[in-house]
């Protein structure tokens, strides 16, 4: 690289780093996942340009950052992520971006877990590693309760208003609109899933506690013996026995989980495995945050009727 080109690249880098958001310019938002991207779009409609690093079907716990992620972070005004240890690849990524504002506590670093009532928080003094290598601060899949979507939206609106105070009222208004939409959606889906109320299910990864709680379902057990740990044949055989004894009809599976194992378990237990969308765009047709919940509720109802109902 010639000295001149290098100098220009450096200058461009500095400009990208230091340019404030001008009047009329969009806020450049990069999110870790597609769910946060859709919420950011709804809260910032007309004022934000949003890009997700993940595409949708992947496991957020196991993403390997690409060099392009760093480039995207260098050009962004805000970087939105789930916080906790949801995305263990994020701390290295923000360090690699070499921008102070993207580091934890920096103006551009938006952790949307603030204000969320976490489930499955390990009790004080418990050896967190005994839980597996993830979820050590509590369960990170909080976006799968539609009413937590409103809390995330509030955090996004605050961050957008901080970098673009001129449009604070707009972000506030769009957040209120999203909150109403999520409240109505929750009410209608709770009614829709009423026939399954109190049903027990088996889940592959511990992705679903917030979703199950909001829609009045209960979990019997997990296919993974610990979060992120693959099950052995003995675990599957024992679990199938428990399922049969308890009359469990459904195994909930993420798009990235081992579907063969889930299907084998379902066969052994004379149950059905059902693949749900753990993120927006994890499955075809799940194009928005609201569509994710509609899809998952309908998929559970359909699988349950195929399995002859679940007690
Ligand atoms: Zn997890």
Query: What pLDDT, on the 0 to 100 scale, is given for residue 23?
Result: 61
C-alpha 18 to ligand 1 mean position (Å): 36
Query: What pLDDT, on the 0 to 100 scale, is given for residue 17?
Result: 47
104 and 230 fall within a common domain: no
Q: Does residue 226 form part of some domain?
A: yes
Query: What pLDDT, on the 0 to 100 scale, is given for residue 309?
Result: 55
Coil, strand or helix: which one is 137?
coil
Which residue, among 280, 281, 279, 262, has the nearest Cα to 271 in the 3D structure? 262
43 and 56 fall within a common domain: yes
Query: What pLDDT, on the 0 to 100 scale, is given for residue 123?
Result: 81
C-alpha 221 to ligand 1 mean position (Å): 15
200 and 180 fall within a common domain: no
C-alpha 184 to ligand 1 mean position (Å): 27
| Residue 109, token pair as written in the block | 């670093």
Q: Does residue 143 form part of some domain?
A: yes
Taking the model in full, what pTM does it have? 0.90
Q: Does residue 212 form part of some domain?
A: yes
80 and 142 fall within a common domain: yes
Are 82 and 57 in contact, with CB atoms under 8 Å apart?
no
Give the residue from 152, 168, 188 where a domain finishes: 188
CA dist., res. 33 & res. 310, Å (int):
32
85 and 170 fall within a common domain: yes
CA atoms within 13 A on the CB side of 246: 17
Query: What pLDDT, on the 0 to 100 scale, is given for residue 226?
Result: 87
CA dist., res. 197 & res. 290, Å (int):
21
C-alpha 12 to ligand 1 mean position (Å): 38
Q: Does residue 10 form part of some domain?
A: yes
Q: Does residue 98 form part of some domain?
A: yes
Q: Does residue 99 form part of some domain?
A: yes
CA dist., res. 189 & res. 196, Å (int):
11
Residues 6+ away with beta carbon under 8 Å from 214: 145, 146, 147, 186, 190
Q: Does residue 123 form part of some domain?
A: no
Written as tens digits, the pLDDT of the chain (311 aa) is 445 555 555 555 555 444 456 667 899 999 999 999 999 999 999 999 999 999 999 999 999 999 999 999 999 999 999 999 999 999 999 999 999 999 999 999 999 999 999 999 988 766 555 556 689 999 999 999 999 999 999 999 999 999 999 999 999 999 999 999 999 999 999 999 999 999 999 999 999 999 999 999 999 999 999 888 899 999 999 999 999 999 999 999 999 999 999 999 999 999 999 999 999 999 999 999 999 999 999 999 999 988 765 44
CA dist., res. 45 & res. 277, Å (int):
24
SS3 content of the chain, % helix, strand, coil (to 5): 50, 10, 40
158 and 234 fall within a common domain: no
C-alpha 84 to ligand 1 mean position (Å): 11
C-alpha 113 to ligand 1 mean position (Å): 14
147 and 261 fall within a common domain: no
Q: Does residue 110 form part of some domain?
A: yes
64 and 86 fall within a common domain: yes
Give the residue from 153, 188, 223 where a domain finishes: 188
106 and 69 fall within a common domain: yes
183 and 221 fall within a common domain: no
Residue ranges making up the domain that contains 282? 193-306
Q: Provide the domain count of the chain.
A: 2
Strands of the chain, DSSP E: 27-31, 48-52, 78-81, 109-111, 200-203, 218-222, 250-253, 272-275
199 and 95 fall within a common domain: no
243 and 264 fall within a common domain: yes
Query: What pLDDT, on the 0 to 100 scale, is given for residue 310?
Result: 46
C-alpha 286 to ligand 1 mean position (Å): 20
C-alpha 7 to ligand 1 mean position (Å): 44
CB atoms near residue 88 (< 10 Å): 15
C-alpha 222 to ligand 1 mean position (Å): 12
Question: Where residue 237 sits, what CATH number does that domain have?
Answer: 3.40.50.1980
């Amino acid at each position: 690289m010639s000295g001149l080109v290098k100098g220009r690249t450096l200058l461009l880098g500095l400009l990208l780093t230091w340019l404030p958001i001008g009047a009329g310019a969009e806020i450049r938002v990069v999110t870790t996942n597609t769910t946060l991207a859709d919420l950011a779009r709804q809260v910032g409609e007309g004022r934000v340009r949003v890009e997700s690093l993940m595409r949708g079907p992947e496991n957020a716990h196991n993403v390997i950052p690409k060099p392009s992620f760093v480039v995207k972070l260098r050009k962004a005004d805000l970087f939105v992520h789930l916080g906790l240890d949801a995305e263990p690849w994020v701390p290295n990524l923000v360090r690699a971006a070499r921008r102070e504002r993207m580091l934890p506590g920096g103006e551009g670093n938006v952790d949307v877990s603030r204000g969320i009532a976490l489930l499955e928080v390990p009790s004080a003094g418990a050896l967190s590693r005994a839980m597996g290598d993830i979820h050590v601060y509590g369960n990170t899949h909080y976006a799968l309760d539609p009413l937590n979507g409103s809390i995330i939206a509030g955090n996004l609106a605050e961050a957008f208003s901080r970098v673009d105070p001129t449009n604070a009222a707009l972000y506030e208004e769009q957040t209120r609109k999203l909150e109403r939409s999520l409240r109505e959606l929750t009410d209608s889906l709770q009614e829709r899933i009423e026939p399954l109320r109190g049903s027990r299910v088996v889940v592959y990864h511990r992705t679903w506690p917030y979703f199950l709680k909001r829609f009045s379902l209960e979990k019997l057990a997990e296919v993974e013996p610990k979060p992120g740990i693959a099950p052995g044949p003995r675990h599957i055989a024992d679990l199938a026995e428990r399922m049969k004894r308890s009359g469990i009809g459904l195994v909930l599976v993420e798009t990235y989980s081992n579907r063969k194992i889930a299907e084998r378990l379902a066969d052994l237990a004379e149950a059905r495995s059902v693949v749900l969308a753990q993120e927006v765009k994890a499955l075809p047709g799940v194009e928005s945050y609201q569509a994710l919940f509609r899809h998952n509720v309908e998929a559970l109802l359909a699988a349950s009727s195929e399995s002859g109902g679940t007690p």
